[in-house]
Amino acid sequence: MTDMLSHTARDTSRGPVPGTAPRPRRGTPLPYALLVPAVLALAVALGYPLVRQVVLSMQDFGLAQQFGRPPEFVGAENYRQLVADGYLWRVTLRSIAFCLVNAVLTMAIGVGLALLMRHMSRGVRLLVQTGLLLAWAMPVVASLTVWQWLFDTQYGVVNYVLTGLGLDYEGHGWLLRPLSFFFVATVIVVWMSVPFVAFTVYAALTQLPEELVEAAEIDGAGATSRFRHVVLPTIRPVLLVVGLLQVIWDLRVFTQIYILQEAGGSARDTNLLGTYIYRLGIGGGEFGMSAAVAIFMLALTVVLTAPYVRAMLRQEGET
Amino acid sequence: MSRPTRPALRATANTLGVLAFLLSVFPVYWMVNSSFLARNEIRSPTPTWVPFGGDLDNYRTVFATDQFLDALQVSLMVTGLTIVVALLFAFVAAVAVSRFRFRGRLTFIVTLLVIQMIPVEGLFISQYKMLKAMDLLNTVVGLTLVYVAGVLPFTIWTLRGFVAGVPYELEEAAMMDGCSRVQAFFRVTLPLLAPGLVATGVFGFIQAWNEFTLALVVMTREDQRTLPLWLSTFTDVNRGTDWGGIMAGSTLIAIPVIVFFLVVQGRMVSGLTSGAVKG
């Protein structure tokens, strides 16, 4: 598995070296023709909506427009309203807090497991990898239903076990209070995200030159300083990219929150950016306003994505 | 083997390892377990840990409803169409990017990377409005359109690596032996690309089969729901929840994904992090 990992990684990064592999004639229109279908699909399904959304975010487009009234151009009015609205800021802060808590927990558990895996017996390591792979492969909606069932108020295993431990959890409704709601959401998101981190970081650790660790040990470096000066520098690029991906993914979390809200959480007290946009626009018909929130969310993502794209492009520049 | 591990460290690592295994596996096990249990075993104050004496009643219930079969049909159509179209488009684009040098090549690649990071949640409002204007809401074509755009960037990005992995000299040699460029491509390069096409096809399958958000936005009518939508409406606060049925449905949806996932898992990691893992 790790073999496959590093192989493809290398294949992608190498590509034919210019000069050794003669390329077909330069300046032919053929490559452009080959790109047409993909570019067209992306332009229609993503490019056009993006432009349209910018326009929409500057229009007064609410329920009246649904019934045929032409939308009116209002400039930055939607944005002005949103900025003045305390609720958007609450949702934004909530999203960022949720994102950071989940990303930090996922990284801590994932990296911890990856480090521990090197010290496990073969059999246990195989067991862990099998378990992680299963959790990783579970479809989002399927894992959501199972976790809801585990946290069920009446017949859920979690309440049963906690009550058995002498705590008062009989008939405890996990989704009713916002903090408890987000606790359940965090358990689900972290459970689903840890495998990717653990596998990727473990793969990076296998590339660690063993002689280096040994040499450091002979030189009298303790476990902590070995980790700081030998292990960490080797896996730092991987940690950076994986951590960044976690932040980006956890900022946009939608399915988990939406389904838990439908299962009994209060939407207003638990909305994150994604569900807020959905409920404002598709739920409430306020398309102008929800488009403005969506643009705001895109801007937030772009800021976070820039370092990831730069890291991915470093290799592209080498070609 | 590498350095010996201290016994205390090994014991700790093993203990935590077993714990991690249990925590990651238990929900999956619980899904399968509950899917075999009868209603009175599910609705009992003490959980039934092992499905001894269980039966297939829950599965029968699932198949007995038209909703499941309808959703299965929609899911199969959307998934199949997405894979075919995305592979076709991505393949020719990957050939362009890895076999030719042209103006705008780097721009195209950067654009792919940026697009891949766009959250659907930031765009689905206007995608909804566009599909509505095109009269494509609640249609397989409409959902496929947004799905194809969703998987294209990753698919092109990954296939590009596979195409680049087939040396151009092979094609050239075939051309010297009298093949035309097109012939050389189909007889030499394409067969070598089969594993890559399978891997990216499976990736597309998993994406489209599991996708929830866009399906929720595009398929608003009950008879056009995909499987994840069907499953999510099962858990309704207002009705008494039929956990056995839900778990049977979840198991049915999860099985093909888990099987396929095991096939391509390594490649999914590398596609996302190849920039960081230096070759």
**CB B126 to CB A135 under 8 A?**
no
Helix axes B243-273, B7-35, angle to 10 degrees: 130
Contacts of residue B277 in chain A, CB cutoff 8 Å? 5-6, 9-10, 13, 203-204, 207, 237-238
Q: How many CB pairs under 8 A join A and B?
A: 398
CB atoms within 10 A of CB A89: 12
Q: Which residues of chain B register pLDDT less than 50?
A: 1-2, 272, 274-279
DSSP string, B136-195: -TTSHHHHHHHHHHHHHHHHHHHHHHHHHHS-HHHHHHHHHTT--HHHHIIIIIHHHHHH
- The answer to whether the Cα torsion of A184, A185, A186, A191 is positive or negative is positive
Q: Closest approach of chain A CAs to the CA of B147, in angstroms? A: 9
What distance in Å separates the CA atoms of residue B153 and residue B147, rounded to the nearest whole number?
A: 11
Q: Note whether A128 contacts B124, CB cutoff 8 Å.
A: no
Give the closest-approach CA distance of A31 to chain B in angstroms. 5
Query: In a mutagenesis test of the B interface, which of A157, A196, A242, A312 is the best target, namely the one with the most B β-carbons within 10 Å?
Result: A312
Q: Tell me how close the Cα of B33 comes to any Cα of chain A, in angstroms.
A: 11
Can you tell me which residue has the tokens 């096809």? Answer: B201
Separation between Cα atoms, residue B177 and residue B188, nearest integer Å = 12
Domain coordinates in residue numbering, chain A: 98-269
Which ranges of chain A have pLDDT less than 70? 1-27, 315-319
Interchain CB distance below 8 Å, A294 and B121: yes
CB A154 within 8 A of CB A136: no
Instruction: Find tokens 């654009």 and name the residue.
Output: B111
- A284 pairs with which residues across the strands? none
The contacts of residue B159 (CB under 8 Å, 6+ apart) are B90, B91, B94, B193, B196, B197, B200
Residues of A in contact with B225 (CB under 8 A): none
Name the minimum distance, in Å, from the CA of B239 to any CA of chain A. 11
Domain limits of chain B?
57-273
Q: Which residue of A has its CA nearest to B161?
A: A12
User: Is A251 in Cβ contact with B228 (below 8 Å)?
Assistant: no
Which chain A positions have a beta carbon within 8 Å of B128's beta carbon?
A: 281-282
Nearest-CA distance B274 → chain A (Å): 5
The H or E element containing residue B118 is: none
Pick from A306, A319, A286: which is nearest to A81 by CA? Answer: A286
Which secondary structure element, helix H or strand E, spans residue A59, and what is its range? strand A59-60
Distances (CA, A) of B51 to A224, B28, B244: 47, 14, 12
Residue A141 to residue A136: CA distance in whole angstroms: 13
Q: Which of A204, A232, A198, A228 is nearest to B278 (CA)?
A: A204
B243 residue type, one letter? W
In the prediction, which pLDDT does B235 show? 63
Helix axes A86-117, A122-137, angle to 10 degrees: 150
Q: Distance between CA A100 and CA A271 in Å, rounded?
A: 16
Sign of the C-alpha dihedral computed for residues B221, B227, B229 and B235 taken in this order:
positive
DSSP B36: T
Nearest residue in chain A measured CA to CA from B133: A49
CA dihedral angle for residue A238, residue A243, residue A249, residue A251, rounded to 10 degrees: -160
Computed over every residue of chain B, the mean pLDDT equals 88
Identify the closest residue of chain B to A299 by CA–CA distance.
B122
CB contact under 8 A, A305 and B117: yes
- The domain defined by B57-273 carries CATH number 3.40.50.720: no
Rounded CA separation A301/A290 (Å): 16
Nearest to B235 among A27, A145, A237 (CB): A145
CA A101 and chain centroid, separation:
12
CATH, range A98-269: 1.10.3720.10
Q: Are A222 and A271 in contact (CB under 8 A)?
A: no
Cβ <8 Å between B121 and A245: no
Q: Which residues of A touch B254 (CB under 8 A)?
A: 137-139, 142
Mutation for testing the A interface, residue in B125, B131, B180, B233 having most A CBs under 10 Å: B125
Q: What is the dihedral of CA B39, B45, B46, B51, to 10 degrees?
A: 10
Q: How many CB atoms lie within 10 A of CB A313?
A: 15
pLDDT of residue B181: 81
